[in-house]
Amino acid sequence: MPTDTKRVRGPEVSQSPSLFVAKPAAVLPSHGPRADGRQRDQVDVRPVFVRCGLVSQAKGSAYIEAGNTKLMCCVYGPKETERKDETDMKCGRLTTDMRFAPFSCPERGSWIQGSQDKDLSLMLHESLQPAVCLHKYPRSQIEINVMVLENSGSVLAHAVTCASLALADAGIEMYDLVLGCSIRQDGSSYVVDPSYAEQNNCSSVSSENQGGLTVAFLPSLNQISGLQSDGEMTEETLTAGVRTCIEGCYKLYPVIQQALAKAVRIAARNAAFPPSES
């Protein structure tokens, strides 16, 4: 029997595609330890891995990994601004662009920037702009590009931290580093640095105190540069949530300082002993 060369024949032993369909996520319990072993109602953030200067083409870059959440940030500039007005003549312009890779979420996305990407880019801009000394860069533009490689929750908070670290790696003058932390309130219980499943889960029967909160914080100046919340929370719950996020930022601060100091030492060593071309 002649072979059909125009048809891609499947293997002789195959399985039904329905076996590989993702099962719907079960409702997470509102008490007891979390899925990754962390405790509820405590400032228990995920271990963070941070590196600077990984992208040689950018002026500054940073990579952050918190659990399964992975982000990369590149900073370009300062360079001459494209649009010139009275504001640009006195101080610089800060632009932010945050995007999700198509493979970053459980549901595959597209490279085209959607409404969620635009909203997160705006929140990122509002959190970083108060910390950058834009008056030092008149007629200039600083571009910040954040790429989410894997979304496992709390992407905005980690994007703020990663972008701040990339700005420092680029040598941009800043008043202070900006650190981000987020919580998820579920009734009377809350989780710090929530995962993707915890962010999209609502296990409490009551509709009160349901929402999320993200805080951008300047630890040395003890000031809040950005705050984003969704859902419905009482004033007392929101105030307690802000304090919890600030405490989470202070926990991340030594890790970020060590990563930045290590990048400075590596840059100084490379400047003193440049690698040979051979």
> So what's the pLDDT on residue 2?
57
Can you tell me the distance from the alpha carbon of 223 to that of 221, in angstroms, rounded to the nearest whole number? 5
Omega of the bond prior to 78 within 30 degrees of 0, cis? yes
Q: Is 98 exposed, middle or buried (0-12, 13-18, 19+ CB in 10 A)?
A: buried
Q: Is pLDDT above 60 for 54?
A: yes
Q: What is the mean pLDDT of residues 262-267?
A: 87
| Residue type present at position 204 | S
215-249 per-position pLDDT tens digit: 999 999 999 999 999 888 888 999 999 999 999 99
User: Hunting for tokens 């030492």 — which residue is that?
Assistant: 265
Angstrom distance (rounded) from CA 51 to CA 254: 14
Could you give all domains of the chain from N- to C-terminal order, each with its CATH number? 40-266 (3.30.230.70)
Q: What residue type is assigned to position 183 of the chain?
A: I
Report the pLDDT value the prediction gives residue 266, as an integer from 0 to 100. 86
Ranges 159-163, 249-253, 260-264: which has the least confidence: 260-264
- Please state, in angstroms and rounded to a whole number, the distance separating the CA atoms of residues 118 and 121: 5
Query: Tell me, what's the pLDDT at 180?
Result: 95
| pLDDT-based confidence at residue 29 (cuts at 50, 70, 90) | low
In DSSP terms, 182 is beta-bridged to: 214
pLDDT at 49: 93
Q: How far apart are the first and last CA of the chain?
A: 60
CA 22 to chain centre: 26
Rounded to an integer, the average pLDDT of 66-86 is: 85
Q: 217-249 b/e with 16+ CB inside 10 Å = b?
A: bbbeeeebbbbbbeeebeeebbebbbebbbebb
Total number of residues shown for the chain: 278
Q: What is the pTM of this model?
A: 0.84
Mean pLDDT lowest for which of 1-10, 117-126, 240-249? 1-10
